Amino acid sequence: MATATLPGNLPVVDDLRRDRTGHVRGRTIADRLVGWLLPLLYLVAIVPILDLVYWVGRAALPTFTVAVITTDPSGAGGGLYAPLVGSLTILLFATGFSLLFGFFGGLATAEYLAERVAGVIRITANVMAGTPAIIVGLFGYIAFVSYFGWGFSLAAASVTLGVFMTPYVFRATDIAYASVPPHIREAAVGSGARPLQYLMKVATPIALPQVLSGVFLAMAIGVGETAPLYLTTTTVALPPLGFFQPVSALSLYIWSDYQTGFILPIAIHRAFQAAFLLLVIVIGLNVLVRIVASRSRRRLEGLYQ
Amino acid sequence: MSAALPPDGAILSVDGLGVTTRDRDLLDNISIDFSARSLTAVVGPSGCGKTTFVRSLNRMTELTPGLRIRGTVRYLGQDIYAKGVNPVVVRRRMGMVFQRPTVFPMSIFENAAFGLRIVRADDGEVDRAVAEALQRAGLWDEVKDELDRPALALSGGQQQRLCIARALAVRPRVLLLDEPTSALDPGATQRVEATLQRLKEDIVLVLVTHNVGQAARLSDRIAFLHSGRLVEVGATADILERPREKLTEQFITGRYE
């Protein structure tokens, strides 16, 4: 091999099989190891999920009939119609609430507020997102059930769950609008777009898919939450009758049927049926996220270059 | 606004323009006129204030917080920085094209129509203006059969000409171009240059470029900026062959440090 004849003090190694440190195979072995390790880590992530779906499905499906989603609970048996409708109703109103504060809050933070104010709001939202659900539930109990006098009710449960979901929607909206490429904003403003026109015609079409993904994820997180509902409503066997009537939810039935199961083992079946229904909803919402994301990726390809 | 085009007068007249941040001058006391049917190349080393200069001509500088602007910029005799002037309207009369293509994620047609949509032009007018703008931008023949395709599917050079079309669709008298070919390959650069060559027969073009060759090929006039000052402005041939200032000569001959 040629020896160093180039200026400078560093050794020049012209042997192309050696790397700079003079090792021949060191780097490639490390590279290969990582190449094997990554798929392995992927398996580590995916196996528990498949395992979970398998065991919940195995426990729920043998007793799962159409009647499970068409009849109301009765005693330790019956179906899950009331909690299913209850969960979806709570989710609907909670999502509405979280959109009202999360979406518009995120939009204001990303687009309009001074950087210092925006920073404070972002920290607050992060703290909110990290608040244990049971504390949000306790807040809901004190504020809505007790202080506002709504009682254990659809209204109290929805607003409490909405409070819980708000930081997720907020964060998705904030990031979505803040990540619209600055040169796109310049071009819109440079074309004479007023701020509102920029927002409606340029920024929102770009940001909306990401916002939607965030909302669906917040829904997937929210629909399975138990603690905010446990302290703001109570298990009833009937679908919601009004805003200020108690409403049932799938997650509450999992909890109460599991407890009943210690005395009355048959009750555990319904817990697993409720768990299975929840899993289907959560997986469905996640599939929606993927669809929205991949569609928007195709539409926006090339925008961020 | 119905101000008639002055036959030989300046469309755009800059007087004593200065832009300062809290601790330094980005532009200092710049005075220059732009008359109809001309292409002025603004050249100078990186950081000399070229971009700040064109951005001051349609009030884009004020989007950067903390900049203070002095002096006047008159568009057809009206000071664009005067009280009561709406910057949005200023930007509608002076189009801008940026370094990188900035197409929106919409169809080719809607991109070109953007400036018209935001002033709520009626559909017939939009159709006519979009076709005319795409022709003037030299893109019509390539896209006339696929106006509904997403603009992001176009090549970089086509996207840049679409951006020019978008600016032209509202029939501005002034087009500001901030290094419009610096992100393009030579072929695409050539087509954009051909477009500019034709456009300078109609309107005022202010072209920021770091490429002296491009300035030589396209411009009637060269303005040389250095450290925020307008060192020299003159007919392209004069500046290239007989620069009066040492700095200008160093820059155009590539001996600038």
In CATH, what number is assigned to the domain containing residue A191?
1.10.3720.10
Q: Does A297 touch chain B (CB under 8 A)?
A: no
Q: Does A182 touch chain B (CB under 8 A)?
A: no
What radius of gyration, in Å, describes the C-alpha atoms of chain A?
26
Asked whether A156 and A249 are in contact (CB, 8 A), the reply is: no
Asked whether A262 and A47 are in contact (CB, 8 A), the reply is: no
Interface probe with B: pick from A112, A113, A191, most Cβ of B within 10 Å: A191
Asked whether B173 and B184 are in contact (CB, 8 A), the reply is: no
| Contact across the interface for B105 and A205, Cβ inside 8 Å | yes
Q: How many CB atoms lie within 10 A of CB A25?
A: 11
Q: How close does chain A come to B101, measured CA to CA in Å?
A: 9
- Dihedral angle computed from the Cα positions of residues B190, B191, B194 and B195, in that order, rounded to the nearest 10 degrees: -140
The count of structural domains within chain A is 1
Q: What is the pLDDT along chain A (305 residues), one digit of tens a residue?
A: 455 567 777 777 777 776 666 666 666 777 888 889 998 999 999 999 999 999 999 999 998 989 888 889 888 788 899 999 999 999 999 999 999 999 999 999 999 999 999 999 999 999 999 999 999 999 999 999 999 999 999 999 999 999 999 999 999 999 999 999 999 999 999 998 999 999 999 999 999 999 999 999 999 999 999 999 999 998 888 888 899 999 999 999 999 999 998 998 888 999 999 999 999 999 999 999 999 999 888 888 878 76
Contacts of B170 in chain A (CB under 8 A): 191-192
Confidence (pLDDT) at B1: 41
Asked whether A146 and A236 are in contact (CB, 8 A), the reply is: no
| Phi, psi dihedral angles at B248 (to 5 degrees) | -60, -45
Q: Alpha-carbon distance B39 to B236, whole Å?
A: 10
Q: Does B117 touch chain A (CB under 8 A)?
A: yes
Residue with tokens 């528990």: A48
| Nearest by CB: A191 against B89, B114, B153 | B114
| Residues 42 through 81 of chain B touching chain A, CB cutoff 8 Å | 58, 60, 63
Q: How close does chain A come to B7, measured CA to CA in Å?
A: 27
Instruction: State the CATH number of the domain containing residue B109.
Output: 3.40.50.300
Asked, for residue B4, whether it belongs to a domain, the answer is: no
| Contact across the interface for B102 and A184, Cβ inside 8 Å | yes
Asked, for residue A18, whether it belongs to a domain, the answer is: no
Q: How close does chain A come to B218, measured CA to CA in Å?
A: 24
| Contact across the interface for A192 and B117, Cβ inside 8 Å | no
Confidence (pLDDT) at B151: 95
Confidence (pLDDT) at B3: 47
Q: How close does chain A come to B155, measured CA to CA in Å?
A: 10
Q: Alpha-carbon distance B105 to B100, whole Å?
A: 15
Give pLDDT tens digits for A159-181: 999 999 999 999 999 999 999 99
Sheet of B174-178: strand order equals B94-97, B174-178, B204-208, B38-43, B221-226, B229-235
Q: Alpha-carbon distance A256 to A36, whole Å?
A: 45
Residue B78, strand partner residues: B75
Tokens of A190: 């440079």
- Dihedral angle computed from the Cα positions of residues A154, A159, A160 and A163, in that order, rounded to the nearest 10 degrees: 160
Asked, for residue A184, whether it belongs to a domain, the answer is: yes
Q: How close does chain A come to B102, measured CA to CA in Å?
A: 6
Tokens of B167: 């600016």
In B, minimum Cα distance to A183 occurs at B102
Asked whether B26 and B74 are in contact (CB, 8 A), the reply is: no
Asked, for residue B1, whether it belongs to a domain, the answer is: no
Q: Alpha-carbon distance B130 to B169, whole Å?
A: 6
| Contact across the interface for B118 and A197, Cβ inside 8 Å | yes
Contacts of B58 in chain A (CB under 8 A): 190
Asked, for residue A56, whether it belongs to a domain, the answer is: no
Secondary structure of residue A18 in the 3-state scheme? coil
Contacts of A303 in chain B (CB under 8 A): 105, 152
Contacts of A301 in chain B (CB under 8 A): 152
- The angle, 0 to 180 degrees and rounded to 10, between the axes of the packed helices A133-140 and A154-178 is 130
Q: Alpha-carbon distance A61 to A273, whole Å?
A: 7
Tokens of A137: 């539930």
Q: How close does chain A come to B253, measured CA to CA in Å?
A: 31
Asked whether A63 and A268 are in contact (CB, 8 A), the reply is: no
Asked, for residue B222, whether it belongs to a domain, the answer is: yes
Residue A31, strand partner residues: none
| Phi, psi dihedral angles at A25 (to 5 degrees) | -115, -5
Asked, for residue B78, whether it belongs to a domain, the answer is: yes
What single string gives the DSSP state of each residue in A240-257?
A: --STTS----HHHHHHHH
Range of the domain at A150: 64-300
Q: How many CB atoms lie within 10 A of CB B66?
A: 7
Mean pLDDT per 10-residue interval, chain B, length 257 residues = 54 94 91 92 92 94 89 93 92 92 94 93 93 94 94 94 95 94 92 93 93 93 94 93 90 77
Asked, for residue B5, whether it belongs to a domain, the answer is: no
DSSP-H helix ranges across A191-239: 195-197, 204-223, 227-230
Asked whether A190 and A276 are in contact (CB, 8 A), the reply is: no
Contacts of B150 in chain A (CB under 8 A): 299
| Contact across the interface for B60 and A300, Cβ inside 8 Å | no
Range of the domain at B17: 10-252
Asked, for residue A7, whether it belongs to a domain, the answer is: no
Q: How close does chain A come to B91, measured CA to CA in Å?
A: 5
Asked, for residue B56, whether it belongs to a domain, the answer is: yes
| Contact across the interface for B91 and A189, Cβ inside 8 Å | yes
Asked, for residue A187, whether it belongs to a domain, the answer is: yes
Tokens of A134: 């049971």
The count of structural domains within chain B is 1
Confidence (pLDDT) at A9: 75
DSSP-H helix ranges across chain B: 50-57, 87-93, 108-117, 123-136, 140-143, 156-168, 186-199, 212-218, 236-241, 246-252
Q: Does B194 touch chain A (CB under 8 A)?
A: no
Confidence (pLDDT) at B143: 94
| Contact across the interface for A197 and B100, Cβ inside 8 Å | no
| Nearest by CB: A299 against B88, B105, B167 | B105
